[in-house]
């Protein structure tokens, strides 16, 4: 009986349900070639295409190309050519609607209230050890409440104190670099350095603990291990029972997830035992704990449960430093390739900051730095895509309805590199695009989405932008830098977009 039941279940989940979903999509006017089960298009996505690999991704800065979409996503690039900017593909037995069409996104975000968006169930499940049901993954009323609870942590009055902390932390990093350079080391692997600094910033600003504290250090170490396991190209994503094909990894991910939870529970306990008058109670952790009603661990009476607080902590710990650090890293690469922009920014720093301590108002006056960062986000968006799942039928036009349950994959890199939206110079670094237009002259407002879109747009975007400005300002005012001959240009996706082999740069002191 049990065997029969298992077989039936497998048959339904591998074939009947996906086929029904496919029929429904087709009936509703959405097309794509018929899928094969149970692997869908994974085999084609697995194939490595070497059109632009090693040979032109060389070590010489003269041949670093920013035309990265076809290298990162050869399959999407091919399907874009054959199927257009909206089509269906299959991650195993899960149909995904691929979207690189800003007009459709505009339509979707006017049709659907932010509360009614879901996140794909496959990802919610696979990524649970990392994000739990934190803000990135939660839905409906739970999402709405937690978003409201977290929002005050990012309000302007809080940002002022945060600026001071950011300056202190980043100054420590450039001091360390100065010591290294003075002692004869010219080459520094900056990705690792920046990652540690932005980790320390999020730990201090949101949780009131230091990166050096053993708990925070362990959390970062384990989050990194988890990221390696969860986001190395997984050929069985979305295949029913796929997790049983990689039992070792699935177990390891769960184990790491539990250990991270434990670390956060001890961080939370320590906070509760500290005197409630000790600042900063208005930081993110403080706000979450207030929302959890009674401050007893394990309280399920009202507000957030302990597990919910832990999930939000995980989400912010990871989301708060990885994307920001990568944006700074890519900015360093682009500035190393463009010394003329380094000089322009230094001139602006002299005019705006001079010898004074950086504050919020100065950051707002650093216009050119703002254009440079926006252009970095366009060419190398550290969050390369956004995902949604429909929780209701969405009427897109007379003929087309996106049925309840449809997964969506929004290709941010694809839109940022689309010549039809940006013109023929789409793959060139031209910060002046953003001079008079916050959308960088993109032909459609929804074609530039470094922080996502709609009500689920990134909650930390102002904080992140501030941090990038501060760190770059401190670096630029002390050193000039060029690309090391050992750098190999090979962006890759592990949830976020990173340089595969780090970013070694050669520094010249300016003092
Ligand atoms: C500066 C670099 C950053 C980039 C490029 C970035 C990018 C993004 C993107 C693309 C999304 C998804 C939006 C969507 O699905 O439409 C997102 C969501 C989110 N980000 Fe960021 N982010 C950055 C910094 C931060 C920081 C500093 C924090 C926290 C301190 C943060 C916390 C979050 C959270 C909690 C969400 C989920 C929001 C929700 O669904 O309501 N991010 N981010
Ligand atoms: C997905 O795979 C099927 C075969 O399994 C193939 O016929 C189809 O063309 C692929 N989809 C796309 C979007 O290319
Ligand atoms: C969408 O589908 C889910 C699951 O099948 C169902 O629970 C939900 O009520 C549906 N939503 C609407 C608005 O019909």
Q: Give the distance (Å) from ligand 1 centre to CA of residue 468.
A: 14
pLDDT > 80? residue 108: yes
Higher pLDDT, 182 or 277: 182
Instruction: Supply the pLDDT for residue 4.
Output: 87
Closest ligand to 24 CA? 3
| Number of other CB atoms surrounding residue 450 within 10 Å | 23
Higher pLDDT, 407 or 50: 407
Higher pLDDT, 325 or 393: 325
If pLDDT is split at 50, 70 and 90, which confidence band does 125 have? confident
Higher pLDDT, 193 or 38: 193
Instruction: Supply the pLDDT for residue 436.
Output: 92
The share of the chain scoring above pLDDT 90, in percent, equals: 53
* pLDDT tens readout for residues 269-318: 888 777 555 555 567 888 788 777 544 444 433 578 889 889 999 999 89
The response to whether residue 392 sits with its C-beta less than 6 Å from ligand 3 reads yes
Higher pLDDT, 334 or 404: 334
If pLDDT is split at 50, 70 and 90, which confidence band does 35 have? low
Specify whether the CB–CB gap between 389 and 406 falls below 8 A. Answer: yes
Higher pLDDT, 9 or 130: 130
Instruction: Supply the pLDDT for residue 491.
Output: 94
- Pick the closest to residue 484 from 499, 503, 505, 502 (CA basis): 505
Minimum mean pLDDT among 142-146, 380-384, 399-403: which range? 399-403
Which residue among 112, 115, 391 has the greatest number of ligand 3 atoms within 8 angstroms of its CB, and so is best to mutate?
Answer: 391
Q: Give the distance (Å) from ligand 2 centre to CA of residue 228.
A: 28
What number is the average pLDDT over the span 193-215?
Answer: 84
Which residue among 116, 153, 319, 411 has the greatest number of ligand 1 atoms within 8 angstroms of its CB, and so is best to mutate?
Answer: 319
What number is the average pLDDT over the span 334-361?
Answer: 95
**Which atom in ligand 1 lies closest to the alpha carbon of residue 382?**
5
pLDDT > 90? residue 185: yes
What number is the average pLDDT over the span 312-339?
Answer: 95
- Pick the closest to residue 373 from 443, 431, 439, 433 (CA basis): 431
Instruction: Supply the pLDDT for residue 492.
Output: 92
Instruction: Supply the pLDDT for residue 438.
Output: 92
Closest ligand to 387 CA? 1
Instruction: Supply the pLDDT for residue 449.
Output: 97
- Pick the closest to residue 79 from 409, 388, 402, 497 (CA basis): 409
Instruction: Supply the pLDDT for residue 55.
Output: 39
pLDDT > 90? residue 20: no
Q: Reduce the DSSP state of residue 113 to 3 states and report it.
A: coil
The response to whether residue 390 sits with its C-beta less than 6 Å from ligand 1 reads no
The response to whether residue 201 sits with its C-beta less than 6 Å from ligand 1 reads no
Q: What is the pTM of this model?
A: 0.91
* pLDDT tens readout for residues 156-176: 877 888 898 899 999 999 999
Instruction: Supply the pLDDT for residue 42.
Output: 76
If pLDDT is split at 50, 70 and 90, which confidence band does 29 have? confident
The share of the chain scoring above pLDDT 70, in percent, equals: 88
Give me the half-sphere count of Cα atoms (radius 13 Å) on the Cβ side of residue 154: 18
The response to whether residue 404 sits with its C-beta less than 6 Å from ligand 3 reads yes
What number is the average pLDDT over the span 328-354?
Answer: 97
The response to whether residue 140 sits with its C-beta less than 6 Å from ligand 3 reads no
* pLDDT tens readout for residues 226-279: 888 888 766 556 666 666 677 888 889 999 999 999 999 988 888 877 755 555
Closest ligand to 382 CA? 1
Q: Has 8 been labeled as part of a binding site?
A: no
Long-range contacts, stretch 281-287, CB < 8 angstroms, 24+ apart: 282/152, 282/153, 282/158, 283/153, 283/158, 283/205, 283/206, 283/207, 283/208, 284/150, 284/153, 284/205, 284/206, 284/207, 284/316, 285/206, 285/207, 285/208, 285/313, 286/208, 287/149, 287/150, 287/152, 287/153
Instruction: Supply the pLDDT for residue 330.
Output: 98
Instruction: Supply the pLDDT for residue 59.
Output: 45
Q: What distance in Å separates the CA atoms of residue 108 and residue 149, rounded to the nearest whole number? A: 26
Using N-to-C axis directions, what is the helix angle for 306-319 and 247-273, rounded to 10°?
110
Spatial CB neighbours of 1, under 8 Å, sequence gap ≥ 6: none
Q: Which domains does the chain have, with CATH numbers?
A: 15-47+62-509 (1.10.630.10)
* pLDDT tens readout for residues 50-87: 444 443 444 444 579 999 999 999 889 988 998 899 99
Which residue among 111, 117, 404 has the greatest number of ligand 3 atoms within 8 angstroms of its CB, and so is best to mutate?
Answer: 404
Q: Reduce the DSSP state of residue 189 to 3 states and report it.
A: strand
Instruction: Supply the pLDDT for residue 287.
Output: 78
Instruction: Supply the pLDDT for residue 434.
Output: 97
The response to whether residue 452 sits with its C-beta less than 6 Å from ligand 1 reads yes
Higher pLDDT, 49 or 496: 496
């Amino acid at each position: 009986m049990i065997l029969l039941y298992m077989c039936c279940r497998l048959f339904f989940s591998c074939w009947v349900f996906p086929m029904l979903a496919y029929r429904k999509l087709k009936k509703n006017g959405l097309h794509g070639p018929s899928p094969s089960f149970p692997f869908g298009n994974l085999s084609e996505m697995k194939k490595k295409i070497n059109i632009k690999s090693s040979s032109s991704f060389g070590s010489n800065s003269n041949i670093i190309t920013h035309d990265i979409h076809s290298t990162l996503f050869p399959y999407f690039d091919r399907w874009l050519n054959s199927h257009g900017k909206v089509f269906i593909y299959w991650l195993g037995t899960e149909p995904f609607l691929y979207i690189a069409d800003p007009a459709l996104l505009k339509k979707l975000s006017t049709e659907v209230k932010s509360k009614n968006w879901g996140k794909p169930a496959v990802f919610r499940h696979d990524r649970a050890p990392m994000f739990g049901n934190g803000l990135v993954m939660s839905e409906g009323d739970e999402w709405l409440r937690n978003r409201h609870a977290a929002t005050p942590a990012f309000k302007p009055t809080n940002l002022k104190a945060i600026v001071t902390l950011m300056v202190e932390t980043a100054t420590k990093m450039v001091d360390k670099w100065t010591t290294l350079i003075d002692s004869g080391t010219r080459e520094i692997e900056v990705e690792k350095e920046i990652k540690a600094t932005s980790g320390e910033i999020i730990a201090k600003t949101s949780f009131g603990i230091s990166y050096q504290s053993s708990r925070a250090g362990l959390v970062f170490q384990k989050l990194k291990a988890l990221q390696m396991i969860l986001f190395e190209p997984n050929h069985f994503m979305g295949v029913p029972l796929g997790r049983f094909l990689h039992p070792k990894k699935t177990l390891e991910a769960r184990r790491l997830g539990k250990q991270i939870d434990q670390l956060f529970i001890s961080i939370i306990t320590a906070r509760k035992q500290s005197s409630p008058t000790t600042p900063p109670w208005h930081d993110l952790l403080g706000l979450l704990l207030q929302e959890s009603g009674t401050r007893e661990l394990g309280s399920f009476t009202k507000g957030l449960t302990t597990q919910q607080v832990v999930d939000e902590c995980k989400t912010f710990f990871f989301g708060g430093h990885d994307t920001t650090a990568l944006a700074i890293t890519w900015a360093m690469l682009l500035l190393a390739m463009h010394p003329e922009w380094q000089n322009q920014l230094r001139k602006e720093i002299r005019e705006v900051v001079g010898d004074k301590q950086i504050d919020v108002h100065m950051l707002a006056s650093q216009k050119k730095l703002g254009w440079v960062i926006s252009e970095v986000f366009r060419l190398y968006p550290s969050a390369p895509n956004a995902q949604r799942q429909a929780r209701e039928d969405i009427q897109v036009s007379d003929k087309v309805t996106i049925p309840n349950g449809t997964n969506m994959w929004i290709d941010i890199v694809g839109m940022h590199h689309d010549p039809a939206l940006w013109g023929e110079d789409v793959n060139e670094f031209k910060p002046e695009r953003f001079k008079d237009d916050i959308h960088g002259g993109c032909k459609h407002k929804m074609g530039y989405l470094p922080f996502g879109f709609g009500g689920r747009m990134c909650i930390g975007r102002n904080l992140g932008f501030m941090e990038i400005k501060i760190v770059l300002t401190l670096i630029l005012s002390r050193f000039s830098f060029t690309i090391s001959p050992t750098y190999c240009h090979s962006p890759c996706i592990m949830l976020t977009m990173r340089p595969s082999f780090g970013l070694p740069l050669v520094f010249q002191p300016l003092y």
